[in-house]
Chain A
Amino acid sequence: MSYISLSDKDKKEMLALVGVSAVEELFRSLPDEIKLKGKLAVPPALTELELNDFFEEVGRRNTLGQYLSFLGAGAYPHLIPYVVEALSSRGEFVTPYTPYQPEVSQGTLQIIFEYQTLICQLAGMDIANASLYDGATGAAEAVLMANRLNNKPKVLIPRSLHPQYRQTIRTYCRNLNLKLEEVGFDDKGEMKLSDLEAGLDAQTSAVVCQSPNFFGQVEDLKKIAERAHAKGALFIVVVAEALSLGILESPGKLGADIVTGEGQSFGLPLGFGGPYLGFMACNKEFLRQFPGRIAGQTKDIEGRRGFVLTLSTREQHIRREKATSNICTNQALCALRATIFLETLGHDGLREMACQNIHKTRYAQAELGKVKGLKVKFAGRPFNEFVLEFAKPWATVDAALRKKGIIGGLGLAADYPELPDCALVCVTEMHRKEDIDRLAAALKEALS
């Protein structure tokens, strides 16, 4: 298939106008020695029909869809109302560039402004940006931002923070003079406050806390905030399961200085891990060090309300190496989907969905907890995930469940050697009671 719109006649006439006899001449500034001799070894062109066949064949090699899955761990299966798909797939949203020309981009800009408002409302903060790549890079950007704000060299990272977020923070910080120290978790799966207190000192730039944390447990943010602030550290709250904000007290109200996280739950498909949506919000006093694009309200010359990208003196295209982040392209269309999702669910729908997650998860935790040969590892307050510990090796249990057509959860040993035969189980509004009961029955058989 070709997407060229020139006829042979067009090409000929245009080459003549340009003053060359053949298209190769247009590349005369390239030295011959570097020009490609022959063709690229790329498979021959496919028509639409052939392309369909190709991707359907490759798609069939994904057999995951045949299983009942309880996987979460930073990528959550949630209902996506069809209006999200129907509206977000409009070419007017899919095919513009970044809204650098506000007069012809008011749609995108107003939506970013609404998105920023929704994120502020959920996070309990003053300002939000137009998006970052994902939750992991959001956490890394927050750590860098805190360091710019107070110029202190140490950051406390909890072990209950998503392992991939921890790894990403480490990658971002390895070339800067920032020391990362780990804070452990207690027997409720929550941040170990004695560890936190031992780690906190006048050199601490920030304390990071994920809530609900990687084990699904809702943290006591207020207590952590008080301890961080008492030592002059900033408090960064990471929300990897954004749906929880529909029912849990906002991190802002509990003392967060920066709130960041993953917005995939707001209308984005699992998509094998992306594109997702990094969100970030903070108090307005930190605006000058805030990374990423921001839309703001203004007026046109006739006094009508309009929206523009603003405060770009923080950004790389103006400030170059002094910018607050190198980010340029972000996840705009994902933020748009989140906006449609949140406005469709609305106040009551979002709360209802979050409530159902808690109820189904608590039901699952209670039912699975009755099975002999396993125990619920942490006795805290789960949102939509919890950890099970098995008397048998997880590999054995996993294999037995797979035979029954179930992916029971994510084994934790690779990331947590201290939790060898444990698995993280996720239950959302997408799981019916009989799905949970089926998992309980299969576990019973596997462990008997």
Chain B
Amino acid sequence: MIREPLIFEISDKGKRAFRLPKLDVPFHKDLVKEYPARTEVEDFPQVSEVEVVRHFTRLSQANYCVDLGFYPLGSCTMKYNPKINEKMASLPAFAGAHPEAPVDLVQGSLEVLKQTEELLCEITGMDAFTLQPAAGAHGELTGMMLIRARLEDKGNPRKIVLIPDSAHGTNPSSAHICGYHVQEIKSDEKGEIDLADLAKAMTEDVAALMVTNPNTLGVFEANIKAIADIVHSKGGYIYMDGANMNALVGVCRPGDMDVDVIHINLHKTFSTPHGGGGPGSGPVGVKKEFAPYLPVPVIDRKGTSLAVNFARPKSIGRVRSFFGNFLVVVRALAYIRSLGPDGLKEMSEVAVLNANYIRKSLEGEYHLKYDTPTLHECVFSDKFQKEHGVSNIDIAKRLIDYGLHPPTMSFPLIVHGALMIEPTETESRRDLDLFIEAMKKISQEATDDPDLLKTAPHVSPVRRLDETTAARTPILRWTRNG
């Protein structure tokens, strides 16, 4: 395989891949001198178009992706991203729309946003949505700000946010930026929130409980109503992290479980592509009492047309510019409209079936810390393989040799050596079986030849990388002198 150099290493003075039409207004030699101008951008690349095309094409071939195969990252919902949705987002009417255009000239864009809000209300059972947050963590932050604004309005913002020990790291981080102190709630032996621990922690200093449901073990918090009662009885609120909503669509609705505020991830449940780390979209849904605090602007239906409303005195303000990641929303709307009510329900059902099929097939080969029923994902650990000195990382790296993407590792924190597997609904039985077979073989290899695993991967573009040195002596950009 050809080692692809950095673009800077193939750059040569005077090469070009781009030209503009000749300037059609008068050129003034001295005009730029009126500005604090630079004479050059030092070492900025200069390459030909074919060099650009080959550079990125070769780099693309060093990536694993959903279009290539099974991608069972737990809590990431790496489902197939329909191609047609890309086309819908690239329609010039949407891609070319300026966000500051007069409202009467962008009614189509506003319709996309409003219709998506309305459909998300129906799907989640909430009363209102904002599509402004750009990602899940951004949604969490927005949601917690809404809770704080509501509590402030009632006279006391309170001090503490309760978060289960199984939660994503973004939860405590978001609560912290919102000015709250984070207090951890323990999971019980079933992997669910410990009601006694919650009742003890729940005081009138607690603003909210952030709960992921199903949680990061894939376990549904069956006591969600009782949990909500405990929190509500002391005047607190339920924030639901909807990252795992892919298990629930058409089956049950957070709004019907006394959830007050929720964010969902359009780049998980609603199939918008992850793009190698983004862009996502993290809409936030709320019950009526929080609607006055939603970020500005909100979009209102006025007869047959749509208006953009900034006159919202109680709003928390903006959480980003313009209307959020609009073209991501277009893709999600295309997905919801393509699937319809039956397709959406089947989506969650098959996601859960596929996950249970994997769980059942690998039980016994891999250790399952919690035997509670799970929905869209299951969390094994490396406990059995550890006896041969093989860790979850070794298992993950060996999967790469089988042409598969590893599961999420070392998370949730309550399972030591975790292997968190979420297959999603779009995978064929053949792909599920390939994964199951590979996992079984690896388990056998852990016994027979542990070194094979510890030195994996063997056939990837690069072998195991030295992450310690990367962090100790960081090289974070190219420079001419290395």
Contacts and interface: CB of A to CB of B under 8 A. Distances in A.
Contacts of A28: 373
Nearest to B355: A26
Given A69-B98, A306-B462, A316-B137, A134 B320 contact: yes
A226 B447 CA distance: 65
Interface-central residue, A14, A62, A94, by most chain B CB under 10 Å: A62
A130 interface: yes
Interface stretch (A149-157, A184-192, A197-205, A336-344): A336-344
B356 A175 contact: no
Contacts of B107: 61-63
A175 B375 contact: no
Contacts of A362: 28, 31
A356 interface: yes
Contacts of B431: 5
B44 A121 contact: yes
B46 A348 contact: yes
B37 interface: yes
Contact of B274 (A31, A97, A275, A322): A97
A84 B43 CA distance: 21
Contacts of A111: 56, 59
Contacts of B295: 171
A322 to B, nearest CB: 8
A102 B462 contact: yes
A43 B80 CA distance: 22
Interface string A10-28: 1100110111000100111
Interface in A217-235: 218, 220-222
A200 B148 CA distance: 31
Contacts of B235: none
Interface stretch (A241-249, A370-378, A386-394, A438-446): A241-249
Interface stretch (B196-204, B284-292, B384-392, B469-477): B469-477
Contacts of B65: 91-96
Contacts of B15: 346
B99 A5 contact: no
A45 B340 CA distance: 4
Nearest to B3: A304
Contacts of B95: 269-271
B105 A63 contact: yes
Contacts of A358: 31-32, 35
B25 A436 contact: yes
A347 B16 CA distance: 9
Interface string A169-190: 0111011100000000000000
A310 B60 contact: no
B136 interface: yes
A294 to B, nearest CB: 6
A215 B452 CA distance: 62
B465 A308 contact: yes
Contact of A274 (B177, B225, B279): B279
B25 A167 contact: no
Chain B interface size, under 10 / 10 to 19 / 20 to 34 / 35 or more: 35 or more
Contacts of A102: 462, 465, 467
Given A299-B466, A329-B280, A332-B276, A344 B17 contact: yes
Nearest to B350: A4
A114 B326 CA distance: 27
A55 B86 CA distance: 12
Chain A interface size, under 10 / 10 to 19 / 20 to 34 / 35 or more: 35 or more
Contact of A42 (B43, B318, B344): B344
Interface in B369-391: 372-373, 375
Contact of A249 (B31, B37, B276, B337): B37
Contact of B86 (A26, A94, A106, A436): A94
A106 B461 contact: yes
A273 interface: yes
A74 B100 CA distance: 9
Contacts of A71: 98, 100-101
Contacts of A436: 25
B155 interface: no
B194 interface: no
Contact of B123 (A5, A42, A120, A297): A42
A332 B277 contact: yes
A97 B277 contact: yes
Nearest to A11: B353
A1 B62 CA distance: 32
Interface in B62-100: 62-68, 71, 73, 76, 78-82, 84, 86-88, 91-100
Contacts of A89: 86
**Interface majority SS on B: helix, strand, loop or mixed?**
loop
Given A18-B356, A346-B45, A103 B137 contact: no
B168 to A, nearest CB: 7
A114 B278 CA distance: 17
Contacts of A30: 220, 222, 251-252
A398 B66 CA distance: 48
Given A14-B357, A102-B462, A64 B105 contact: yes
A171 B318 contact: yes
Contact of B375 (A26, A67, A118, A317): A26
Contacts of A301: 455, 463-464, 466
Contacts of B334: 51, 55
B55 interface: yes
B447 to A, nearest CB: 24
Contact of B35 (A73, A144, A218, A307): A218
Interface-central residue, B35, B42, B265, by most chain A CB under 10 Å: B35
Given A128-B477, A306-B462, A355-B32, A323 B100 contact: no
B411 A317 contact: yes
B321 A381 contact: no
Contact of B101 (A319, A342, A407): A407
B16 to A, nearest CB: 6
Interface-central residue, B8, B135, B316, by most chain A CB under 10 Å: B135
B81 A108 contact: no
B276 A320 contact: no
Contact of A270 (B98, B338, B475): B98
B32 to A, nearest CB: 7
A196 interface: no
A168 B88 contact: no
A326 B244 CA distance: 19
Given A269-B95, A298-B470, A40 B66 contact: no
Contacts of A93: 56, 60, 63, 65, 275-276
B101 A64 contact: yes
Contact of A17 (B100, B360, B478): B360
Interface string A87-121: 10111111111111111111110110110111011
Contacts of A103: 397, 400, 457, 460-465
A162 interface: yes
Given A40-B123, A248-B35, A270-B97, 5 more contacts: A2-B339, A62-B108, A175-B148, A272-B323, A329-B282
21 contacts: A3-B82, A6-B354, A23-B352, A26-B349, A42-B119, A55-B88, A83-B17, A87-B52, A93-B65, A95-B66, A113-B478, A249-B36, A272-B106, A296-B474, A306-B465, A326-B140, A328-B169, A332-B275, A333-B273, A346-B47, A360-B23
Q: Which 9 A-B pairs have the closest CB atoms?
A: A273-B322, A45-B340, A333-B275, A59-B93, A273-B99, A332-B277, A91-B67, A175-B179, A275-B279
